[in-house]
């Protein structure tokens, strides 16, 4: 089961990195604004500054895994819940959430953006 979870997390992380469009050497390829799992993350210009790209990608994977465990759909994760969670790429930050969700859905192979992401953790064949 761990391999299936890792596969889903990696597909979503790869799709979101692609959507963010940062250079291959950028340390924070998902443009995370914070890293609350760290005791003292370095924040510069409103964004987390990880010590390396590997740490930045791992931070993105951590965030995706948390949203899967919370039962969020891709739409919930990216666009948010009013009054609960602002969203990963909310429209309030000038993101085109419809395009963002559609791109990540396609690139990560997620059939339905409205169902909890844990539905796409499939047992190995």
The pLDDT tens digits for 4-41 are: 768 899 999 999 999 999 999 999 999 999 998 899 99
Record the pTM. Answer: 0.90
Q: DSSP states of 7-51 as a string?
A: HHHHHHHHHHHHHHT--TT-S-TT--S--TTSSS--EETTEE--S
Average pLDDT score over residue span 88-95: 89
Residues 6+ apart with CB under 8 A from 66: none
Enumerate the domain spans of the chain: 2-120
Residue linked to tokens 């909310």:
90
């Amino acid at each position: 089961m761990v391999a299936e979870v890792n596969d889903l997390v990696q597909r979503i992380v790869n799709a979101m990195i692609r959507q963010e469009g940062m250079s291959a050497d950028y340390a924070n390829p998902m443009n995370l604004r914070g890293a609350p799992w760290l005791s003292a993350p370095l924040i510069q210009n409103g964004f987390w500054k990880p010590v390396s790209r590997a740490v930045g990608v791992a931070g993105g994977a951590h965030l995706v895994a948390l949203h899967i465990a919370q039962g969020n759909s891709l739409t919930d994760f990216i666009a948010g819940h009013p009054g609960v969670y602002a969203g990963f790429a909310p429209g309030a930050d000038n993101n085109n959430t419809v395009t963002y969700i559609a791109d990540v859905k396609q690139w990560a192979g997620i059939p339905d953006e409205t169902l909890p992401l844990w539905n796409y953790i499939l047992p190995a064949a």
